[in-house]
Amino acid sequence: MNPKLVDEALKIVGNPNLLTNIVSLRVRQLCREERPLVEVKSVSEDFSDIALREIIEGKLRWRQAPQKRAA
């Protein structure tokens, strides 16, 4: 996983735990042979790097669940 891509994607997502969840879900989808939403630079490019570039290029959308109020 490219650390520069991680830093760029983290600036967009804002939460490292959420970023981990988004990337891992997308990697599973790519492993099931779903098409990448960005151009693959090489055959050996990691699925995680593809997922990070999809986030950076605005190709993935996500929603955070509303936080519960403390009683």
**What's the rounded Cα separation, in Å, for the pair 56 and 28?**
18
Provide the pLDDT confidence category of residue 71 given band limits of 50, 70 and 90: low
Domain count across the chain: 1
Q: Is residue 17 part of a domain?
A: yes
| CA dihedral sign of residues 37, 43, 45, 47 | positive
Share of the chain above pLDDT 70, in %: 99
Q: Is residue 43 part of a domain?
A: yes
**What's the rounded Cα separation, in Å, for the pair 29 and 11?**
23
The pTM of the full predicted model, rounded to 2 decimals, is 0.87
Q: Is residue 50 part of a domain?
A: yes
**What's the rounded Cα separation, in Å, for the pair 26 and 37?**
11
pLDDT, mean of residues 15-34: 95
